[in-house]
Structure 1
Amino acid sequence: MRQLILDLLPESPPSLDNFVAGGNDETLAALTGWLAGTLEATAFCLHGEAGCGKTHVLLACGFNYIDAAANPGLDGVTADGPLAVDNVEALDASGQIALFALFNQLRASGERLLTAAGQPPSHLALREDLRTRLGAGLIYRLQPLSDAEKAAALAAQARERALKLTPEAIDYLMRHAPRNMRALSALIVALDRYTLEHKRAVTLPLLRELLTQEATV
């Protein structure tokens, strides 16, 4: 996709308010309670398939965010405050030792650890002591949005910007644009700007023009 969409993403930083919950109300309620201190546990683990919003939620919580896929050894990570560790399954041997030590430090200081992975802790290929620590905390699954939920979210975001998106236009976006909600939401922002700049209504030819332009820049 065009760099325009990537440039737009920081304008809408991930928050729990702009996370499209879909069927995840129970999970978000538990997470909110944990963040508020009404649910006591050192660790909270989110698991779910790629694209379900795990990274969005971890970033939204405001913890010190670490992506284990980019830093599998957790080099330089300290327990100075609450931690959010994404892609826990990507930790290498030294990273697993480091996370076990960080967990113990966080628990001793009353801080918290939020993690995300494709599977619940019991199914991850981790050291037994680390898997036990993570498995003793709160564990919730993030359900991916259905196509109908994504379409409804796009329609709502378009209405907020006074964009007139027909069902056919939404169907076109769903078939030709990236399927994750953050990229789709950014595309609505790009579409709003594009229609204002060119003083044109949203039509299928305009959508094709925008997406083709983004694919070639």
Structure 2
Amino acid sequence: MEQLVLDMGLAPRPTLANFLADGNRDALAHLALWAHNPRRAPVPTYLWGGAGAGKTHLLQAVRAAVQAQGEAVGWLDARTLAPPEFDERWTVLVLDDCHLYTAGQQAVAFNWFVNAMAPGSGAARWVLAAGDRPPADLALREDLRTRLGWGHVFQLQALAEAERRAVLRRAADERGVFLSDEVMDFVLNRFSRDLSSLMALLDQLDGYALRTQRAITIPLIKAMLEHP
């Protein structure tokens, strides 16, 4: 009988410290400086790059860092179907997956952006956004698209093969999970190689291994795929 999964082996939360910065050190340094400085300048920042480049990781890490300082953060992504009104308590606004926004989400994002730059009370807010292409190439309403490119723009570079292995290895080690070289080869050669997919796969493998009380091996991966 499969045992219940205990509250252990959970995926580590995205932080600025556990982001592998190779190729993206300037962007990481900028975000770390601004996230930890309540007196940050209200100049927008936009990150862009392909799937798995780490955009959402960084945005979630910034949100966590800002909230840890007692500040409130507004968050909008493509899965936010009923976005709230702009909240004067927010000190930072985060807009993820801008390239996927519906017309309604674009209207909300524009409203948030305008209120952030010229709020009814208090100082202007920092807007941090991300998408899969440069601001000029986004298929968004013109007033929002141009505003996303007003400030700092950083392109995130996807990880190379060795770096991707290092991230997967570190994520497994943080869970106390051992992945042999054979398992690593199997995973990287047969599954989607972007980081978000690899982390989701590690979640599944860890949970299945706990339930079945088995080590993560190639036979276990095949069994998991046969009995999801």
TM-score, shorter chain, exceeding 0.5? yes
Task: Specify the alignment match of 1:140 in structure 2.
Answer: 154
Q: Establish whether residue 16 from structure 1 lines up as the match of residue 26 from structure 2.
A: no
Percent identity, please: 36
Within 5 Å, which residues of 2 pair with 1:7-86?
11-37=11-37, 40-62=41-63, 63-68=73-78, 70-71=80-81, 75-80=83-88, 81=90, 82-86=92-96
Task: Tell me which moved more, 35-44 or 18-27.
Answer: 35-44
- Supply the distance in 1 between the matched residues of 2:9 and 2:56 (Cα, whole angstroms): 14
- Supply the distance in 1 between the matched residues of 2:205 and 2:182 (Cα, whole angstroms): 15
- Which has the larger share of helix? 1
Q: TM-score, normalised by structure 1?
A: 0.75
Query: What amino acid does structure 1 have at the position aligned with 2:159?
Result: L
The 1:9/1:70 distance shift into structure 2, 3 A limit, reads farther
Check the 8 A contact 1:69/1:90 in 2, yes or no: no
Check the 8 A contact 2:42/2:124 in 1, yes or no: no
Which secondary structure does the structure 2 equivalent of 1:126 belong to?
coil
Instruction: Kindly provide the CA deviation profile for residues 21-46 of structure 1, in whole angstroms up to 9, marking residues without a partner as x.
Output: 34222211111122234763431111
* Count of residues paired in the alignment: 208
Task: Specify the alignment match of 2:185 in structure 1.
Answer: 171
Within 5 Å, which residues of 2 pair with 1:100-139?
100-108=110-118, 109-139=123-153
- Supply the distance in 2 between the matched residues of 1:22 and 1:56 (Cα, whole angstroms): 15
Task: Tell me which moved more, 43-52 or 92-101.
Answer: 92-101
Which secondary structure does the structure 1 equivalent of 2:162 belong to?
helix
- Supply the distance in 2 between the matched residues of 1:157 and 1:200 (Cα, whole angstroms): 19
Query: What amino acid does structure 1 have at the position aligned with 2:86?
Result: T
Check the 8 A contact 2:9/2:176 in 1, yes or no: no
- Supply the distance in 2 between the matched residues of 1:23 and 1:84 (Cα, whole angstroms): 23
- Supply the distance in 2 between the matched residues of 1:94 and 1:184 (Cα, whole angstroms): 31
Structural RMSD (CA)? 3.4
Query: What amino acid does structure 2 have at the position aligned with 1:208?
Result: K
Gapped runs of 5+ residues in structure 2?
Answer: 64-72
- Supply the distance in 2 between the matched residues of 1:28 and 1:193 (Cα, whole angstroms): 31
Q: TM-score, normalised by structure 2?
A: 0.72
Which secondary structure does the structure 1 equivalent of 2:94 belong to?
strand
- Supply the distance in 2 between the matched residues of 1:76 and 1:102 (Cα, whole angstroms): 10
Task: State the shift of 1:11 in Å.
Answer: 4.7
The 1:131/1:155 distance shift into structure 2, 3 A limit, reads closer
- Supply the distance in 2 between the matched residues of 1:65 and 1:103 (Cα, whole angstroms): 12
Check the 8 A contact 1:47/1:117 in 2, yes or no: yes
Which secondary structure does the structure 2 equivalent of 1:184 belong to?
helix
Which secondary structure does the structure 2 equivalent of 1:65 belong to?
strand
